[in-house]
Structure 1
Amino acid sequence: MDFDSINSAIAEWTALLGDSGITLAESGELGASTIGARRSTPAALHPWNQEQVAKILETAQRWKVPVYPVSTGNNWGYGSANPVEDGCVVLDLSQLNQISDFDPEMGVVTVQPGVTQGALREFLDQQEGDYLVPVTGAGPNCSLLGNALERGYGITPITDHFAAVTKIEAILPDGSLYRTPLSELGGKEIDGLFKWGLGPYVDGLFSQGNFGVVVNMTLALAPAPETVTAFFFSTKDDARLEALVPTVREVLRTLGGSVVAINLLNSQRMLSMMIPFPEEKAVDGVLPADEAENIAHRHGVPAWSGVGAIYASKEVARAARRTLRRLLGPVTDRLIFINQRKVEMARSVARVLPGSLATRIQGMADTLSGALQIMNGAPNDVALALAYWRSGALPVPGQAKNPARDGCGLIWFAPLVPIRGTDARRYTEMIGRICPQYGVNPLITLTTINDRCFDSTVPLLFDRNDPDATAKANECYRALYRAGQEEGFLPYRLNVNAMDILNTSGTTYSRLSSHFKAAIDPNHILSPGRYVPSNNARSEA
């Protein structure tokens, strides 16, 4: 680390942003992370417009000081605001939070990096925009732009969030502005309506890449349907998994357009949403399989639970419910349909019931209401409670959940799994075999991202205050990756501690992406090591 260069760059950035626009990391560390990553970062910069971002990058190039942009820094389970490498200055884009160019007729909107799921929901409500926000379970304070660039997904109608991106504007590492060809030719409006533009699809370089700082992103929004009906199904018999999985595929193919995504959750994943972690039953932090089965039985939790939603008119929704009964009936023990009216009925019943029964029904109604809100494109932090399962009490009511701030230990292992019964079985057995060896409970969700492929999110939950537990959780990730590589189950995104999986692979991909990087960013000052192989260009310069 060249301290003279860093000090010179910081002096220029301070002149640009003012004292309030820069945070010095006197201790050598800046930012907390649920994965236990600890990076040495000289400073954090807080620009409030894209012109300042361009000048920041010009200064970074002049002094060859690496910078690492983050949208809101709430990238739970993947590194939060931590760079991949030490010595990077964090570029905090959360103050770039403008929403613009909303077209209520076409359903497109442009957002900056600091626009959160909650902010877009509030904006659409104020504009009477009858559209769904592309929500995730990460909570209302997380960036839409950051999630889309990471190729995040949800269960609302546009499942693949990068697929909803129609146009990108980015500041390149030399400070120049990248715009798509259609916009540069004068077609700004039509550019926002057509994803692929004209010529090579360069926008894709900015997804899971380090070729520029995206400052504006245009999104296509899904229109709110006439009805949204959640459906829940379950099977008590784990042996039915091989039959259930292809049936899920058949549901998506038969009801495509009205049923867009389905989640399958194993019993331990369901328990994590229902009860505090039973520490007294655990052995070295892990619930033994027979104990987990007994607890699940006592709480009425089946081997596998499923959830999805019907987005349709009333007539189509009625037909979809009949189809779901026909397809899922033979492979499930239970199938129910829930809408907001039924949730309110449950709350009314709870008010006249005694004691613990009333509390249980009210809690169930609150959970269902939260799930329905997400399905209706309204973000909330109900799902975020998972991060706290091993770390203790949730924040006090009214305080936003922040797993990094609150000491939660969470690493996401998120591999892709073919929607085949035999593959699902091989995969779940792999997770169940490896996780307990590292003190991690095997909590499994299988989420359809199309009718061919699941993404499975496995939360590696651990005690972040325990260095040994933190080390074992990171070792667990590596063990899962190695086993998945042998079995054909590879992750769709990586955390900041795992970028070397791509960076040291020596593949044609790594050589080609390195050539692109050298052409666009020869000094490797922008997000070094992020998805694209790093090098020692800065130290040699």
Structure 2
Amino acid sequence: MSENSKTLRPTPPGVTEAGLDAALAAFAAAIGPDKVSTDPELLKEFQDPYQVPGTATNLPSAVVTPTSVEEVQAIVRLANEHTVPLWPISRGKNNGYGGAAPWVRGAVMVSFLAMNKVEINEELGYAMVEPGVSWFDLHDAIEEGGHDLVASIVDIGWGGVVSNTVEHGLTYMPNSLDQAAHCGFEVVLPNGELYRTGSGGMDNNPTWPLYKRGLGPTTTELFMQSNYGIVTKMGYWLMPKPEVYMPLWLQVWDDSQMPAVVDALRELMLAKVIDMRPQLSNTLIMASMLTSRAEWFEGTGPMPEEIIDKLAKELGLGRWMMRFALYGDEAVVDHNYARLRARFLQIPSVQLMGQKYSAEEWETLPNPHERVQIGVPSLDLYKMAGWSGGDEGGHVDFSPVIPLTAKHAKEAQELFEKLCHEAGLDYLGGMLPINARSTTFINVIPFDTKNPEQVHRAYEHAKHMVEVAGKMGYGEYRLHPYFADTAMDQFGFNDHIQLRFNEQLKDLIDPNGIIAPGKSGIWGSRLRAAGFPQQ
């Protein structure tokens, strides 16, 4: 821990309090004092909510709230001049992956709540969004404009469209596979210059949000999960409203049949019978969205199997449940549903159910799981965080990528369940296919934030799982700062050439390490020289 982190006031590494004050005064002069704040109550929003109360150390020093890309450019230039690191945050909470907290104590948050413009092109089926646009904002813009379009969205509607996308966040409709909905980034580079990826490199090129490449190297992906710039505008592809939407539920009552379901799922996705992102979850993940652990079991250690069986039956969940959907003309949906039944119902203990709906019914479907798969956002699925600890519950998420095969699903499931139980924790596991060939195997590790020992055990357990999975060749799809450097260390091919290459780029374009230092294990030369990452 540095000397700065021991002071009462969070200050960035290598920056004095006087130096920080000078930087904040410069920000205020450039964008207006009303857009710069050190209010402690406001800064509480930029902490990881899933830590033991009062123990957070990665605290911001201030927040700036730009209203234009020109103001973002001014902030970045001044941050370089004063060597004050910035931590951009769209509007989501990033819960389970470190919250909205910066990865370096004393960083200045760049909040985009005031940059929330949405432009929709119905003819070509896309939206152009600023980083403050939430899933609610995008949905409302589509509805208010009377557009015959729907957006692929996440489970919790408060999140940001840009921030979720650049974090490789998972949505559910056909455009979401392989995170394919984005097209064209506008980026403020670490020196304050404005850059556009792909066809945006040409003035007035109308294909910027339509064609993902340009001339020469395609750099869009460099700005995803990186700290090479701040995305200030993004194209996001939308889907025409289908004639029929059919949300589906598949229940697996025999835990041992889950791998067989995975093989069937892969076959059906490769054949495009399922052309979206299903969600296959074990009993406890589904239960965490409906109830709490304390309502079923008050003992210590993992929930016993007989209690899980009871919960699965009484809530009608099964031992695994898959949420998915069909979209399209009614005749096509009927045909594909028949193919699903023919394949899935060959598997013992599997049940399949679903119902077709027209566009007039989507907004008012009673089940939030079914609304989210057709682009209707809500906050109804947020209950998961309270599985352990109720209102003061939390979770840390570990999410490796594995091949979408029965063999890998069985090995991963058995290993992760065993490790969770050895740590004395419940096993909440599930799969969200990235495409027809690979899937994230998400492990939600719950804890009660009022129990410091349990919180510490959960975080250490997650870090251990990263290391064990790494030895099997499974890498993380998304990082929590607590184990970011450990996760990046698993990518060891050719003496960690991936990280070394990332660092070379960082040192070239951001020598002062201004933009989100530490993001994805990329620190930059200045902070590496100062001893980061700190253990």
Taking structure 2 as the reference length, the TM-score comes to: 0.88
- Cα deviation for residue 29 of structure 1 reads 6.8
Equivalent of 1:382 in 380, 383, 392: 380
2:250 matches 1:233 = yes
Deviation, 1:321, is 1.2
Which of 497, 506, 520 is matched with 1:517 structurally? 506
| RMSD (CA atoms) | 2.4
Q: Paired residue for 1:399?
A: none
Give the aligned residue type for 1:23. Answer: S
| C-alpha separation in 2, matches of 1:494 and 1:122 | 31
Equivalent residue for 1:142, pick from 154, 159, 172: 159
By how many angstroms is 1:373 displaced?
A: 1.2
- Equivalent residue number for residue 335 of structure 1: 352
Deviation per residue, 1:327-364 (Å, 9 max, x gap): 111114311112458x99xx9xxxxxxxxxxxxxxxxx
Q: Following the alignment from structure 2 to structure 1, what is the Cα–Cα distance between the partners of residues 443 and 206?
A: 40
Deviations 1:245-275 (A, max 9, x none): 111111212334x532222221222322333
Residue 51 of structure 1 corresponds to 70
Which range moved further: 448-457 or 204-213? 448-457
Distance 1:128 1:441, change over 3 A: same
- Separation of aligned partners in 2, 1:148 and 1:248: 25
Q: Aligned with 1:199: secondary structure?
A: coil
SS in 2 for 1:48: coil
- 2:85 aligned to which of 51, 55, 66: 66
Q: How many residues align?
A: 503
Q: Work out whether residues 28 and 40 of structure 1, in 8 Å CA contact, stay in contact via their aligned partners in 2.
A: no
In structure 1, the residue matched to 2:263 is: 246
In 2, Cα distance between equivalents of 1:449 and 1:183: 27
Q: 1:186 to 1:16 in 2, by over 3 A?
A: closer
Following superposition, the deviation at residue 300 of structure 1 comes to: 4.1
Q: Which runs of 5+ in 2 are unaligned?
A: 1-12, 531-535
1:45-444 residue pairs with structure 2 within 5 A? 45-100=64-119, 102-137=120-155, 139-160=156-177, 162-180=179-197, 182-256=199-273, 259-278=275-294, 281-284=297-300, 286-331=302-347, 332-340=349-357, 366=366, 369-392=367-390, 407-444=392-429
Residues 173 and 374 in structure 2, CA contact (< 8 A), matched pair in contact too: yes
Whether the 8 Å contact between 1:149 and 1:208 is mirrored in structure 2 is yes
CA contact (8 A) 1:35 1:78 kept: no
In structure 1, give the amino acid aligned to 2:454: A
**Which amino acid letter does the alignment assign opposite residue 70 of structure 2?**
E
Q: 1:540 to 1:8 in 2, by over 3 A?
A: farther
List, as ranges, runs of 4+ consecutive aligned residues in structure 1 with deviation greater than 6 Å: none
Post-superposition offset of 1:279: 5.6
Asked if the contact 1:28/1:41 (under 8 Å) is kept, the reply is no
Aligned partners of 2:199 and 2:211 also within 8 Å: no
CA distance in 2, matches of 1:260, 1:272: 24
Task: Return 47-56 or 258-267, whichever deviates more.
Answer: 258-267
User: What whole-Å deviation, never above 9, does each CA across 1:26-78 have from its counterpart, x for those lacking one?
Assistant: 69974232442541321111111111111111111111111111111421211
Greater shift, 41-50 or 270-279, is seen at 270-279
Q: Which of 28, 32, 41 does residue 18 from structure 1 map onto?
A: 32
Shift of 1:283: 3.0
Contact map agreement 1:28 1:42 (CA 8 A) in 2:
no
Percent identical among aligned pairs is 25
Quote the Cα distance in structure 1 between the aligned partners of 2:414 and 2:209: 44
- Structure 1, 63-72 or 429-438: larger mean CA deviation: 429-438
Counterparts in 2 of 1:192 and 1:161: CA distance versus 1, 3 Å = same
Rounded to whole Å, the distance in 2 between the matches of 1:266 and 1:538 is: 42
Task: Read off the aligned partner of 1:84 and give its amino acid letter.
Answer: W
Deviations 1:476-510 (A, max 9, x none): 11121122112233210101222213565661011
SS of aligned partner of 1:410: strand
- Is the aligned partner of 1:471 residue 2:437? no
Partner of 2:4: none
The residue identity in structure 2 corresponding to 1:17 is I
Greater mean alpha carbon deviation, residues 61-70 or residues 384-393: 384-393
CA deviation string 1:269-300 (max 9, x = no partner): 23223333236624325312333234334444
TM-score normalized by the length of structure 1: 0.87
Contiguous gaps of at least 5 residues in structure 1: 348-364, 394-406
Mapped partners of 1:127, 1:161: distance in 2: 28
Q: Deviations over 1:393-447 (max 9, x none)?
A: 5xxxxxxxxxxxxx44121111112111121111111121111333431011112
SS state of the match for residue 159, structure 1?
helix
